[in-house]
Copies of this chain bind each other. A is one copy, B any other.
Amino acid sequence: MSNIRKPPTMADIARVMGVSPMTVSRAFKADSLVSADTREAILKAAEDLGYVFDSTASNLRSQKSDFVAVTIPSINNANFADTVGGLTDTLAARNMQILLGYTNYNIEEEERLIEQLLRRKPQAIVVTGGRHTPRARRLLETVNIPVIETWDIPGEPIDHYVGFSNADAVRQMVDHFVGAGHRRIAFIGGDVGRDTRGSERRLGFIAAMQAHGLDASRLIAAGAPPISMREGANAMARLIENYPDTEAIVCVSDLAAYGALTECRRLGVAVPERFAIGGFGNYEIGEVCVPTLTTINAFAREIGEKTARLILDILDNQAAENVRISPELIVRDSSR
């Protein structure tokens, strides 16, 4: 029969030790004033009793939670996972916990999530991208904590941001292809609208092509974001059918680009000789596949680390500057 007794509280420890609950509370707070002996004895008694500190009560009383809320489009994406990893590790040093939510690339879902997360009274909230529902935007503008938008530089930031221009990043790729002598360049991306960053990359492609006086109409929509490897492969097949004389292809992500690469391999089409291919995001696959994949490194982990540092600076009342990341073109075998 299981022993379901009420778990011990600080008051129980205080009783056992013959001290006040306040002394017990102090013993658990690292930098507070209790005699070393008392603290040691209290911590030992706590361990013996199987005491578990109650953050909920602590948070309510002290009106701070040690939570940082984070929304990302998908957990199953190495780029966002890296950002979350950077956030987690940097914040862990200050004993802050991430409270994570997935929007599924859907701003209505994001709104619901933001509302739910704010109920936990986080100390800061990190969102991905600069597009939100009006209500989500209002929630974020009204809430009394730092708000950090990431992976983008919003036209009108709500508060802070740590990001980069997705359009400018894609321009680097277009410039690279044009510099290599390509003129008939295509773009493989997701259906327009849902994935903000993907849409901006597409717009960046069009703008960059036009800046070079080139035709920007070779656009393949590979499906609802996020684009999988398989969708990238399917898109490649359609591209070859519709625009067989294409010379180079900009893909919305390395996953799509890798899919395109495999389709070429299956069809016996040489990369980069017949098609040069470029991806986005510097995923591990791009370093290892054959040929290796030209890509844009957006420094996913650094985005998380710098966001965390920005948050810590704000909470410490330090000067807190927005961070502009500079994505870097990495030229590999798929385009040389």
Contacts and interface: CB of A to CB of B under 8 A. Distances in A.
Interface of A: 4, 7, 50, 52-57, 59-60, 65, 75-76, 78, 81-82, 84-85, 88, 97-100, 102, 115-116, 118-121, 142-144, 228-230, 233, 258-259, 262, 265-266, 284-285, 287-290
Nearest to A288: B229
Contact of A98 (B65, B100, B120, B284): B100
A85 B77 CA distance: 12
Given A54-B121, A56-B56, A56-B65, A97 B85 contact: no
Contact of A290 (B54, B85, B228, B266): B266
A56 B52 contact: no
Nearest to A141: B50
Contact of A85 (B78, B102, B121): B102
A291 to B, nearest CB: 10
B85 A76 contact: yes
Given A55-B121, A229-B288, A262-B290, 9 more contacts: A52-B143, A54-B60, A54-B121, A55-B120, A56-B65, A76-B82, A81-B81, A230-B288, A259-B288
A229 B76 CA distance: 17
Given A59-B56, A119-B53, A230-B288, A99 B99 contact: yes
A7 B144 contact: yes
A75 B98 CA distance: 13
B81 A75 contact: yes
Residue with the greatest number of chain B CB neighbours at <10 A, chosen from A84, A228, A229, A289:
A289
Contacts of A233: 288
Contacts of A57: 60
A284 B115 CA distance: 33
Given A57-B60, A84-B75, A97-B99, A262 B289 contact: yes
B75 A119 contact: no
5 contacts: A4-B144, A56-B56, A85-B102, A230-B287, A262-B290
A76 B72 CA distance: 14
Max count, chain B CB within 10 A of own CB: residue among A76, A81, A82, A229: A76
Interface centre among A85, A88, A118, A284 (most CB of B within 10 A): A284
A7 B56 CA distance: 19
Q: Report, nearest first, the 4 A-B pairs whose CB atoms are least far apart.
A: A229-B288, A55-B119, A76-B81, A265-B290
Nearest to A112: B92
Contact of A229 (B55, B102, B285): B285
A259 B285 CA distance: 9
A34 to B, nearest CB: 20
Contacts of A88: 75, 102
A190 B143 CA distance: 46
Contacts of A119: 52-55
Contacts of A290: 262, 265-266
A34 B157 CA distance: 40
